[in-house]
Amino acid sequence: MKKLYKTFLLLLSFTVVVSCTSELDNDPIGLLTLDQVDTDPTMETVESAVESAYQPLRNTLNSIIPGWRWDLGTVFRNDIILQDMAANDMNKKWNPDGDQAWMDEIGNFVFTPENQAFNGIWTYDYEGISRSNLAIGFLTDDEVVQKTGISSARRDQLLSEAYFLRAYYYFDLVNNFGDVPLILKSPESFEEAFSVSVRAPKDEVMTQIGVDLQTARDLAPQIKQDATDPWRVSVGAIIALQAKLALYGENWAEVLSFITQLDNLGFYDLNGNYFDAFDAGMEFNDQEVIFAYDHRSGENPGNGNGLAAVSGWGFFAPTDDFLTAFESDDPRLDYTINVDNQHSPKIMGSLTEYKGNDDSPGNKIYIRYADVLLWKAEALNESGDPLEAVALINQIRERARNSPTASGEVVPVGTLPDRPNSNDQAQVRAWIQSERRVELGFESQRFNDLKRWGIAQTVLQDLGKNFQAHNNLYPIPQTDIDKSGGSIIQNPGY
């Protein structure tokens, strides 16, 4: 392995998408080549490499490519557009206008491969993979390990994090695009980088995700969270993503097995108050959040949650269909969206603060225990045990009705009554689908749910959307097809 470090800390901030002009147009997908740096790595290098691999998960404005590149879809990580807007839970703005019309195209399914939403998520995910690969390269190189003097325990922890992050980014890519280029090491040259610009079958990528997660799990410390840096990937996050991988593959027995293993850790439970998982003042002190990106205020370069600022510009409004999905007096509605004041407390990390503040400390939550319980309910129901599934649905509903309202009042008696016992698998399935929508609203889960349930076309066409069967996969960004010289083939229908 070539010795790496020359201007490395600078490259961590920019890597292969460093330029917002010609280099961005010419470089192969998300790859930092080893001929870009040429000095010895240090302990600081290794630590920084792993921390850098987390950064494409954040919603800090202009963090991957500077300069307000709305035209590239990279101003913030755009899961919220590709999931919540696409699923008709969210409109672009409270007051419709022509600003950023590409977002409206996603919500209405009238997009082309040139739409910047696809370039945005592709860039973020492959940037994360590139950084993860670089970190893995350092930590699996005996010469580097010996030179830095890193302890075995610290090496294993950091390597576990890097494997998890690579798996997470690839999981997001296959759910959005299907077959994608599978790149497992930093290339030695740009020639090698271009040579791997071909799509691997989705099943092959999913298999690699499973391998990475098991490797990460074998290396992870058996603790709930790092005492110094509680934001780091934990063994609980790894097991939870293993369960989610099995869920998306409809491997119900594996889902239940992984969740049992997660529960046996004894680390997680539902919070008493629904909003505690999102409250910036409760971060890493609650019982429910399993994996989140740690936005922080007052750092240079900035590390705040820029979606709070975008909310202040009038973005991220609920659809009427989303609002009517909530049962009467469900307190989760006001925690998800404050209609009167036109903001989402979930997004901001506060009921009242941070709107318009691009340095908000509110975290981006990727996995929490309520989501896991609903995976378990789904696996139980699909395995022929709907009664146990109903019990878990009711556990979620009980926590919701026992939470105070956003104004601090007690929820009216009779709110969110338990679902009755039922052996009707179809009925229980419908209850799970309904509960997931309101429990996880505005958390960028809905569109993937609709697709994996096989109901996206029916649901969205019934709402007047132009969804067609081929829209179960998004198009590969046209710019990356062009950069590959045609070796990357477009998804059917585009």
pLDDT greater than 60 at residue 270: yes
- Which three-class secondary structure state does DSSP give residue 24? helix
Its domain, for residue 168, covers 1-221+457-494
Query: Do residues 236 and 262 lie in contact, with contact meaning Cβ atoms separated by under 8 Å?
Result: yes
The CATH number covering residue 404 comes to 1.25.40.390
401 and 375 within one domain: yes
187 pLDDT band, cuts 50/70/90, is confident
Model confidence band, residue 350 (pLDDT cutoffs 50, 70, 90):
very high
Q: Are residues 419 and 477 in the same domain?
A: no
Across the chain, mean pLDDT equals 92
**Look-up: residue for tokens 């239940």?**
256
> For the segment 107-139, what is each residue's pLDDT rounded down to a tens digit?
999 999 999 999 999 999 999 999 999 999 999
Residues 89 and 205 in one domain: yes
Amino acid at the residue 135: A
Instruction: Kindly state whether residues 23 and 144 are assigned to the same domain.
Output: yes
Asked whether residue 305 is assigned to any structural domain, the reply reads: no
142 with 251, same domain: the answer is no
- Is residue 461 in some structural domain? yes
Regarding whether 175 and 77 lie in a shared domain, the answer is yes
pLDDT of residue 39: 57
485 — pLDDT class (breaks 50, 70, 90):
confident
Residues 197 and 268 in one domain: no
- On whether both 387 and 477 belong to a single domain, the answer is no
Percentage of the chain lying above the pLDDT 70 cut = 91
What secondary structure letter does DSSP report for 244? Answer: H
At a CB cut-off of 8 Å and minimum separation 6, what does 53 contact?
128, 131, 132, 134, 135, 161, 162, 165, 166
In this model, does residue 8 exceed pLDDT 60? no
Quote the distance between the C-alpha of residue 308 and its chain's center. 17
* 110, 147: one domain: yes
In the chain, how many domains are there? Answer: 2
Whether the pLDDT of residue 190 is over 90: the answer is no
**Residue 72 has what pLDDT?**
97
pLDDT of residue 186: 82
Determine what percent of the chain is predicted with pLDDT higher than 90: 88
Torsion angles phi and psi, residue 118, rounded to 5: -75, -40
**How far lies 188's CA from each of 35, 36, 101, in Å?**
6, 9, 40
State whether 204 and 148 are in the same domain. yes
Same-domain pairing of 81 and 176: yes
SS3 447: helix
426 phi/psi in degrees, rounded to 5: -65, -40
Q: Is 483 a member of any domain?
A: yes
488 and 415 fall within a common domain: no
Q: Is 60 exceeded by the pLDDT of residue 15?
A: no
pLDDT band at 18 (very low <50, low <70, confident <90, very high): very low
| 368 pLDDT more than 80 | yes
pLDDT range class, residue 4, cuts 50, 70, 90? very low
pLDDT at 28 over 60: no
